[in-house]
Amino acid sequence: MSKEEIQTWLVEYVNRETGTDKAKIELDVAFDRYGMDSSAAVGMTGDLEDWLSLELEPTIVYDYPTIAELSEYLIERVS
């Protein structure tokens, strides 16, 4: 598992949830700016747990609000 794979997964997730064009999704822009509300963020945490087989705080997105920050945190946890 690499950081880039996690970032790709997150970009695809944001694209699926909000309809934002993948090319327009930037790594250092907060999830909520793409219209990801708290419900979507908590849902994403659950999907991330399943995908990475990790235990995550449901509010993890509040602490790591961008794809760059979240993927950095997740890769540390995975490795």
Partner 1 sequence: MLFNSYEFIFLFLPIVLLGFYLLGGNGYARSALVWLLAASLFFYGWWNPSYLWLLVFSIAFNYVLGLILGRETFSDRVRRLCLVVGVLVNLSLLGYYKYFNFFVGSVNDVFGTGFDLKEILLPLAISFFTFQQIAYLVDTHRGKTKERGFLKYCLFVSFFPQLIAGPIVHYNEIVPQLDDRKIFKFKAEDLAVGLTIFTLGLFKKTVFADGVSDFANPVFQAAAQGTDLTFFESWLGAFAFQLQIYFDFSAYSDMAIGSARLFGILLPLNFNSPYKSSNISQFWNRNHMTLTRFLRDYLSKPTFSVLRFLPLGDKRHSRQRQLYLSSIVIMVASGIWHGSGWTFVVWGLINGVYLALYQIWRDVRKTLGKKFARPTRAEELLGNLIMLVAAVISLVFFRAQTFKDAIAMLKPMLGSDGISLPGSLEKVVGFLGAVGIQFKGTVTPGFSSLTALVWVVGLLAIIWFAPSTQQWLQEYKPALDYDPLLSSPSPIDRLWKRVQWKPTPLWGAIVAAIAIVAVISIRPQSEFLYFQF
Q: Which is nearer to partner 1, 4 or 12 (CB)?
A: 12
Q: 3-state SS of 29-79?
A: CEHHHHCCCHHHHHHHHHHHHHHHCCCCCCCHHHHCCEHHHHHHHHHHHHC
Interaction of residue 32 with partner 1, rule CB under 8 A: yes
Q: Given candidates 3, 8, 27, 29, which one binds partner 1 under the rule CB under 8 A?
A: 29
Q: Given candidates 4, 38, 51, 77, which one binds partner 1 under the rule CB under 8 A?
A: 38
Q: Given candidates 6, 9, 10, 34, which one binds partner 1 under the rule CB under 8 A?
A: 34
Least distance in Å: CB of 6 to partner 1? 21
CB 62 within 8 A of CB 42: no
